Structure 1
Amino acid sequence: MTAVAHREVERKYEVPEGAESGVDWSGLPGYTVSAEAVEHRMEAVYYDTEDMALGRRSVALRRRRGGADDGWHVKFSEVTGRQEWQVPLLRTPDRMPAAVRHLLAGLTGGEPLRPIATLRTVRQVQTVSDAGGDEVAELAADVVEAVDERTGTARSWSEWEVELLDGSIPEERQQEIFDAVESAIFAVGGRPSNSRAKIARALGAEDGAGAPAADGSAQEASSPGERPGRTTGTDATGQKGKQGKKGQKTGQKASQKTEKKTDKTGKKTGKKTGKKGRKAKGTGPEVLRTVLDGLAEQLVLWDFKVRLDAPDAVHQMRVTSRSLRSVLRAAGPFFAGDTAQELDGRLRELAGALSGARDAEVTAELLAGRVAALDGRVGPAAAEVLQRAAEEQSQRAAAAVRRRVTSREHLQLLADVGEFAAAPPLTEECAELSAREAADALVHRALRKVVRVAERGAAAEEAGETAQEQRLEHLHDVRKAVKRVRYVDAVLDRAGFRPGKSLRRAARDAEDYQDALGRVMDSTVVERWLADRAKALQGSGEDRYAVGLLHGAEVSRLHAGAEGGSEVVGVLLSQLRADLA
Structure 2
Amino acid sequence: MAVNHLEVERKYDAEPDFAVPDLTGLPGVTGIGAPETHHLIATYFDTDDLRLAAHGITLRRRRGGEDAGWHLKIPAGPDSKNELRAPLGRAQIVPARLASLVAAYTRGGRLAPVATLETSRTVVRLLGENGGALAEIADDAVIGKVTDGAGDQRWREIEVELVDGGGDLLKAAGKRLIKAGARKAESSSKLGRVLNGAIERPVPAKPRGTAGDAVVGYIRGQIEVVLKYDPRARLAEDDAVHQMRVATRRIRSALQSYRAVLDRERTDPLRAELKWLADALGEVRDLEVLRMRFTGRLEEIGESTSQSWLAEIWRQETAAYRRLNVTLKQPRYFALLDALDALAADPPLTDRAGREAGKELPRLVTRAWKKLAKAYDEIDGADEPDIARHETRKAGKRARYAADLARPVLGKPAKKTSKRAKKVQEVLGGYQDGVIAMEHLKTALKRTSDASEIFILGVLYGIERSEAKATISTLAETWDNTSPPSF
TM-score (norm 2): 0.83
Counterpart in 1 of 2:157?
Answer: 159
- TM-superposed deviation, 1:38: 4.4
Which of 424, 427, 435 is residue 357 of structure 2 equivalent to? 435
Counterpart in 1 of 2:345?
Answer: 422
Q: Any gaps of 5 or more consecutive residues in structure 2? A: none
Counterpart in 2 of 1:562?
Answer: 472
**Inter-partner Cα distance in structure 2 for 1:19 and 1:56:** 31
Which of 454, 471, 478 is residue 385 of structure 2 equivalent to? 471
Which of 471, 487, 496 is residue 401 of structure 2 equivalent to? 487
Contact 1:359 1:525 in 2 (8 A): no
Q: For residues 501-558 of structure 1, give each alpha carbon's deviation from its aligned partner in whole angstroms, at most 9, with x where no partner exists.
A: 877755543334233233223323433343343333x135764333322222111111
Counterpart in 2 of 1:144?
Answer: 142
Q: What is the 5 A alignment of 1:277-296?
A: 279=209, 282=210, 284-296=211-223
Counterpart in 2 of 1:31?
Answer: 31
Counterpart in 2 of 1:318?
Answer: 245
Q: Does 1:342 align with 2:269?
A: yes
**Inter-partner Cα distance in structure 2 for 1:160 and 1:385:** 55
Q: Does 1:251 align with 2:161?
A: no
- TM-superposed deviation, 1:87: 2.1
Q: What is the 5 A alignment of 1:205-244?
A: 212=199, 230=202, 243-244=203-204
Which of 400, 407, 419 is residue 330 of structure 2 equivalent to? 407
3-state SS of paired residue (1:548) = helix
**Inter-partner Cα distance in structure 2 for 1:23 and 1:337:** 63
**Inter-partner Cα distance in structure 2 for 1:29 and 1:416:** 51
Q: Does 1:83 align with 2:82?
A: yes
3-state SS of paired residue (1:119) = strand
Counterpart in 2 of 1:67?
Answer: 65
3-state SS of paired residue (1:559) = helix
Counterpart in 2 of 1:521?
Answer: 432
**Inter-partner Cα distance in structure 2 for 1:85 and 1:390:** 29
- TM-superposed deviation, 1:54: 2.2
Contact 1:76 1:83 in 2 (8 A): yes
Q: For residues 360-402 of structure 1, give each alpha carbon's deviation from its aligned partner in whole angstroms, at most 9, with x where no partner exists.
A: 232333345434554xxx33x3478777665565444334322
Counterpart in 2 of 1:398?
Answer: 321
Change (3 A) 1:560 1:148: same
Contact 2:20 2:177 in 1 (8 A): no
**Inter-partner Cα distance in structure 2 for 1:251 and 1:432:** 11
What percentage of aligned pairs have identical amino acids?
28
Q: Does 1:447 align with 2:369?
A: yes
Contact 2:15 2:156 in 1 (8 A): no
Counterpart in 2 of 1:207?
Answer: none
Change (3 A) 1:438 1:399: farther
3-state SS of paired residue (1:89) = coil
**Inter-partner Cα distance in structure 2 for 1:405 and 1:85:** 19
3-state SS of paired residue (1:419) = helix
Change (3 A) 1:479 1:53: same
**Inter-partner Cα distance in structure 2 for 1:372 and 1:21:** 55
Change (3 A) 1:188 1:365: same
Change (3 A) 1:201 1:296: closer
Q: Does 1:547 align with 2:457?
A: yes
3-state SS of paired residue (1:67) = coil
Counterpart in 2 of 1:98?
Answer: 96
Q: Does 1:43 align with 2:41?
A: yes
Counterpart in 2 of 1:256?
Answer: none
Contact 2:295 2:305 in 1 (8 A): no
Contact 1:475 1:565 in 2 (8 A): no
3-state SS of paired residue (1:513) = helix
**Inter-partner Cα distance in structure 1 for 2:265 and 2:192:** 44
**Inter-partner Cα distance in structure 1 for 2:378 and 2:171:** 63
- TM-superposed deviation, 1:176: 6.4
3-state SS of paired residue (2:320) = helix
Counterpart in 2 of 1:498?
Answer: 410
| Counterpart AA for 1:556 | S
Residues 354-363 or 191-200, more deviating: 191-200
**Inter-partner Cα distance in structure 2 for 1:387 and 1:401:** 21
**Inter-partner Cα distance in structure 1 for 2:409 and 2:438:** 40
**Inter-partner Cα distance in structure 1 for 2:240 and 2:108:** 21
Counterpart in 1 of 2:8?
Answer: 9
**Inter-partner Cα distance in structure 2 for 1:308 and 1:347:** 21
Contact 2:69 2:87 in 1 (8 A): yes
**Inter-partner Cα distance in structure 2 for 1:198 and 1:404:** 34
Contact 2:372 2:395 in 1 (8 A): yes
Counterpart in 2 of 1:225?
Answer: none
Which of 263, 273, 291 is residue 364 of structure 1 equivalent to? 291
| Counterpart AA for 1:557 | E
Change (3 A) 1:26 1:445: closer
Change (3 A) 1:115 1:479: same
**Inter-partner Cα distance in structure 2 for 1:513 and 1:187:** 54
3-state SS of paired residue (2:410) = coil
**Inter-partner Cα distance in structure 1 for 2:178 and 2:329:** 52
| Counterpart AA for 1:436 | G
Residues 193-202 or 474-483, more deviating: 193-202
Contact 1:323 1:487 in 2 (8 A): yes
- TM-superposed deviation, 1:106: 1.0
Residues 540-549 or 323-332, more deviating: 540-549
Q: For residues 417-471 of structure 1, give each alpha carbon's deviation from its aligned partner in whole angstroms, at most 9, with x where no partner exists.
A: 32234334444x43563333442343133222212211211343xxxx5xxxx33
**Inter-partner Cα distance in structure 2 for 1:24 and 1:437:** 57
Change (3 A) 1:189 1:561: closer
Q: Does 1:123 align with 2:121?
A: yes
RMSD over aligned Cα, in angstroms? 3.9
Change (3 A) 1:132 1:546: same
Q: Any gaps of 5 or more consecutive residues in structure 1? A: 205-209, 214-228, 231-242, 253-278
Length, aligned pairs only: 484
**Inter-partner Cα distance in structure 2 for 1:503 and 1:29:** 49
**Inter-partner Cα distance in structure 2 for 1:178 and 1:568:** 48
**Inter-partner Cα distance in structure 1 for 2:11 and 2:104:** 31
Contact 1:70 1:88 in 2 (8 A): yes
- TM-superposed deviation, 1:89: 3.0
Contact 1:15 1:189 in 2 (8 A): no
Change (3 A) 1:182 1:112: closer
